[in-house]
Amino acid sequence: MARISIFGIGYVGVVAAGCLAKDGHDVIAVDVDPGKIDAINAGLSPIVENGLDDLIKDVVDAGRLTATNDVEYAVNNTDASFVCVGTPSAPDGSVGLKYVDVVCQNIGEALAKKDAFHSVIIRSTIVPGSCENTCIPTLESASGKKAGTGFGVGYYPEFLRESTAIEDYYDPGLIVFGALDDGTRAILTELNENLNCKIHTVDLRTAEMVKYTSNTWRAVKVTFANEIGNIAKSCGLDGQDVMEILCSDLKVNMSPYFMRPGFAFGGSCLPKDVRALRHLAAENNTPAPLLNAVLDANEAQIVKAEKMVASSKASKVGFVGISFKPGTDDMRESPLAELASRLIKSGVAVEIYDPFVHEAYANDNSTAGRGNDVVPDLKERLNPNLTAMIDGSDMIVVGNIYKDTLSELDAAISNKPMVDLTRISRNRVTGGGYDGICW
């Protein structure tokens, strides 16, 4: 079993920490946020994620997971460090490496005082060349050691989906990593060899590119499906029928998960990663018209939804869902949050039903409202009672599907205008007071 320190107790970090500890590895989680540290050490999850509360409690009680802000302690007491901090977009759209750089600096300083070999494995999403041009130089400068011999280096991207992260961890669709040295390669192989998935061992840059290709492909698929849905609707056709038939062609390994016409994409990965890959292409003087179109089309889908709501002239709108997807409290670049923000700025009163965001606030999680920088007074706008929200609203915007709300929402259509961005029922098409965004 390995001893692993994980830097960054965010979504990727806490899920990895819990699952690694469950598998029997000794894990030390490292962060600067005392709220997250205290939560972990108390056996609590700092984020809302299916199954994570029980998992964290079990591994903390078993003594296999602890949290600290002491970098030197974490490095000295583990064999490898995972860097799982965020890489938000820089103002120019490039990948933001400031948090990764700071963590590498801190780890490097600890490595300077450690005699034993130690591997530094980046899990943060970074564009090709980032390990070689930023991470390794920072680690070498701070440690006074040479990458590949004085310490190990690897890049090991994650492909977890929020709300199904634990399931995805143990049943991955893709495993890929790059390593400079045999020691790091052996650690990563050990962590993955019992999973039912082929392991792709590549160079650092290829592993970095696979992660961006995966995220950008998902973003492209969402946009493509939405465009087809919009065109189909303009022809009096059902866009979801069209795309379901297209997706039945499994010979080209087409995944239907993202190929479903609906609302814009958001979250912590797709928007910023499309921006970063577009910026990289521009730096290399490589035309990338589709990447430009993806972001333009995604924005157009938000504008379309805004116009659909505005046309109703409703003065109070109830939102079903505000996080970027159902099953999580994550608000980062949520298109629903952006839509709500625009309506609020135009003078519309907005009330929100979102059980996962509400749960985070109700539990006083230190990360409650995480990623929200557009919806003012978010906590006060939340209503845990769907019926009361519907009754008090002039119209309803359905952004996320929660199964226990479907019958009530379907019944509400008869007396309440509704803009449906996700589709509560395949039996519903635009007509009367109901307006589906792509059907």
Residue 269 appears among annotated catalytic residues: yes
31: annotated binding-site residue? yes
C-alpha torsion sign, points 178, 179, 185, 190: negative
Per residue, the 3-state secondary structure of 185-198, as one string, reads HHHHHHHHCCCCCC
Question: Is 138 known to sit in a ligand binding site?
Answer: no
Q: How far apart (Å, rounded) are the C-alpha atoms in residues 148 and 136? A: 10
DSSP for 48-69 reads --TTHHHHHHHHHHTTSEEEES
User: Is 272 annotated as a binding-site member?
Assistant: yes
211 is in an annotated binding site: yes
SS3 label, residue 121: strand
Q: How far apart are CA 319 and CA 422, in angstroms?
A: 12
* Residue 22 is assigned to a ligand binding site: no
Q: Is 132 annotated as a binding residue?
A: no
Q: Is 57 annotated as a binding residue?
A: no
261 marked ligand binding residue: yes
Helices 289-310 and 204-234, interaxial angle, to 10°? Answer: 40
Q: Order the strands of the 316-320 sheet from edge to edge.
A: 349-353, 316-320, 395-398, 418-420, 434-436
Query: Is residue 89 helix, strand or coil?
Result: strand
Catalytic residue among 19, 104, 135, 269: 269
Question: Is 316 labelled as part of a ligand binding site?
Answer: no
Check whether 379 is labelled as a binding-site residue.
Answer: no
Please say whether the beta carbons of 222 and 258 come within 8 A. yes
Label residue 346 exposed, middle or buried (CB < 10 Å: 0-12, 13-18, 19+).
exposed
Is 125 annotated to bind ligand?
yes
392 is in an annotated binding site: no
Would you say the C-alpha torsion 334, 86, 25, 152 has a positive or negative sign? positive
Find out whether 205 is annotated in a ligand binding site.
no
Distance from C-alpha of 123 to C-alpha of 158, rounded to nearest angstrom: 7
Establish whether 216 is an annotated binding residue.
no
157 is annotated as contributing to ligand binding: no
Is 249 labelled as part of a ligand binding site? no
Q: What is the Cα–Cα distance from 189 to 226, expressed in whole angstroms? A: 39
Q: Which residues are catalytic?
A: 269
User: Could you tell me which residues are annotated as the binding site for NAD(+)?
Assistant: 31, 36, 87, 125, 162, 272, 332
Binding residues for substrate: 159-162, 211, 258-262, 266, 325
> Which residue ranges make up the annotated binding site?
31, 36, 87, 125, 159-162, 211, 258-262, 266, 272, 325, 332
